[in-house]
Structure 1
Amino acid sequence: MNINTVSKTSRITIVSAVFLLSMLVLSLVINGIWRQQTTQEQTLAKQNIQNRVSEIKYAINECCGITETMNLILQENAEGTMEDFNNVAKHIMKDRKYISCLQLAPDGTVTSIYPIEGYEGDLINLFEEKHYGSLAAYSKNTGTMTLQGPFEIQHKEIGMELREPVYVRDSNGIKQFWGFAIAIIKVPDVFQISTDNLKTFGYDYTLYKTNPFDEEMHPITSSKGILEDPVVADFDAAGVSWRLAIAPEEGWVQPSYLLPYALFGLFLVLLLTLLTYMVLLLAEDRALFSNISLRDQLTGLYNVRCFEEDMATLVRTNKLHGIFYIDVNKFKHINDTYGHRAGDDVLKEVALRMKGACEFNVYRLGGDEFAILVNQDIKESAYETIAAKMTKAFNRSIVSGSNNMMVSISIGYAFYPDDGTDPQQLREIADQRMYNMKEAYHAEME
Structure 2
Amino acid sequence: MKKKTLVPLIIFLLGICLVGFIVYKTDTHEKNERHITAQLNATTYGERIKNEIASGIEITDALKQILISENGEINQFDTIAENLMSASIESVQLAPDGVVTDIYPAEGNEAGKIDLIHDKDRGEISGYARDNHTVITQGPFELKQGDYGIAVRNPVYLTDTNKQEYFWGFTIVILRVPDIFSDSIYALSNFGYEYRISKTASPWSDTYKVIYQSDGSLTQPVSYDFKIGAENWRFEIPPQSGWRNNTLIAVVTGFFLAVILLLTVLTRVWLVSKENKNRFQILAHTDSLTDIYNRYGFDEAAEKIIAQNPKTHFVAALFDIDDFKFINDVYGHAYGDRALKSLADNMKAFFPPDVLLGRNGGDEFCILLPDCTLEKADAKLNQFTRLPKTFSYKGTEHHFSISLGYAEYPAFASNHSQLMRCADAALYEIKLHGKNGCMAYRKGLQSGVRKQLGFALKDVSEHLPGAFIIYRADKEDDELFYANQEFLHMTGYKDMGELFRLTNKSFHNLIREDEQKQIEASIWEQIDSGNENDYIHFHLRKADGSYLSVLDHGRIVESQQYGKVFYVLFMDWKDMHIHYGDKFSR
Tell me the SS of whatever aligns to 1:46: helix
Number of aligned positions between the proteins: 295
2:125 is matched with which residue?
A: 135
The correspondence of residues 151-162 of structure 1 with structure 2, limited to 5 A, is 151-162=141-152
1:177 is matched with which residue?
A: 167
Judge conservation of contact 1:205–1:245 (CA < 8 Å) in 2. yes
List alignment gaps of at least 5 residues for structure 1: 272-277, 313-446
Q: Which amino acid aligns with 1:162?
A: V
Candidates 123, 139, 147, aligned match of 2:113 = 123
Larger Rg: 1
- Is 1:231 the counterpart of 2:222? The answer is yes
- Is 1:90 the counterpart of 2:90? The answer is no
2:347 is matched with which residue?
A: none
Q: Deviations over 1:1-50 (max 9, x none)?
A: xxx5459xxx4x87666545533432331232232233334333333333
Judge conservation of contact 2:117–2:124 (CA < 8 Å) in 1. yes
TM-score, with length taken from structure 1: 0.56
The correspondence of residues 227-306 of structure 1 with structure 2, limited to 5 A, is 227-252=218-243, 254-268=245-259, 289=504, 293=508, 298=513, 305=520
Q: Distance in 2 between matches of 1:64 and 1:303?
A: 108
Q: Deviations over 1:177-235 (max 9, x none)?
A: 12211111112222233223334444332222223222123332223433334332222
Q: How big is the shift at 1:163?
A: 0.7
Q: Which amino acid aligns with 1:264?
A: F
2:309 is matched with which residue?
A: none
Q: Deviations over 1:384-407 (max 9, x none)?
A: xxxxxxxxxxxxxxxxxxxxxxxx
Q: Distance in 2 between matches of 1:50 and 1:295?
A: 80
Q: Distance in 2 between matches of 1:174 and 1:113?
A: 29
- Is 1:168 the counterpart of 2:158? The answer is yes
Q: Deviations over 1:234-257 (max 9, x none)?
A: 222232222222233444564444
- Residues 30 and 303 from structure 1, CA distance in 2 versus in 1: closer, same or farther, beyond 3 angstroms? farther
TM-score, with length taken from structure 2: 0.44
Q: Distance in 2 between matches of 1:240 and 1:157?
A: 23
Give the fraction of aligned pairs with identical amino acids, expressed as a percent.
30
- Residues 297 and 101 from structure 1, CA distance in 2 versus in 1: closer, same or farther, beyond 3 angstroms? same
- Residues 130 and 17 from structure 1, CA distance in 2 versus in 1: closer, same or farther, beyond 3 angstroms? farther
Q: Which amino acid aligns with 1:155?
A: Q
Candidates 16, 20, 23, aligned match of 1:27 = 20
- Is 1:43 the counterpart of 2:36? The answer is yes
Q: Which amino acid aligns with 2:114?
A: I
Q: Distance in 2 between matches of 1:160 and 1:207?
A: 13
Q: Distance in 2 between matches of 1:218 and 1:132?
A: 16
Q: Distance in 2 between matches of 1:245 and 1:21?
A: 42
Tell me the SS of whatever aligns to 1:228: coil
Q: Distance in 1 between matches of 2:94 and 2:18?
A: 69
- Residues 178 and 287 from structure 1, CA distance in 2 versus in 1: closer, same or farther, beyond 3 angstroms? farther
The correspondence of residues 292-331 of structure 1 with structure 2, limited to 5 A, is 293=508, 298=513, 305=520
Q: Deviations over 1:78-107 (max 9, x none)?
A: 3x23333322222211xx211111222222
Q: Deviations over 1:265-286 (max 9, x none)?
A: 2324999xxxxxx869x9xx88
Q: How big is the shift at 1:298?
A: 4.3
Q: How big is the shift at 1:65?
A: 1.0
Q: Which is bigger in relative contact order (C-alpha 8 A, separation at least 6)?
A: 1
- Residues 308 and 181 from structure 1, CA distance in 2 versus in 1: closer, same or farther, beyond 3 angstroms? farther
- Residues 34 and 88 from structure 1, CA distance in 2 versus in 1: closer, same or farther, beyond 3 angstroms? same
- Residues 307 and 129 from structure 1, CA distance in 2 versus in 1: closer, same or farther, beyond 3 angstroms? farther
- Residues 62 and 291 from structure 1, CA distance in 2 versus in 1: closer, same or farther, beyond 3 angstroms? same
1:407 is matched with which residue?
A: none
- Structure having the higher helix fraction is 1
Judge conservation of contact 1:19–1:270 (CA < 8 Å) in 2. no
Q: Deviations over 1:103-159 (max 9, x none)?
A: 222222222222234433332222222222211221111111111222222333122
1:67 is matched with which residue?
A: 60
Q: Deviations over 1:300-324 (max 9, x none)?
A: 9966638998xx9xxxxxxxxxxxx
Tell me the SS of whatever aligns to 2:238: strand
- Residues 107 and 48 from structure 1, CA distance in 2 versus in 1: closer, same or farther, beyond 3 angstroms? same
Q: Which amino acid aligns with 2:160?
A: D
- Residues 22 and 117 from structure 1, CA distance in 2 versus in 1: closer, same or farther, beyond 3 angstroms? farther
Q: Distance in 2 between matches of 1:181 and 1:37?
A: 49
Q: Distance in 1 between matches of 2:46 and 2:28?
A: 26
- Residues 296 and 143 from structure 1, CA distance in 2 versus in 1: closer, same or farther, beyond 3 angstroms? same
List alignment gaps of at least 5 residues for structure 2: 263-393, 397-496, 528-586
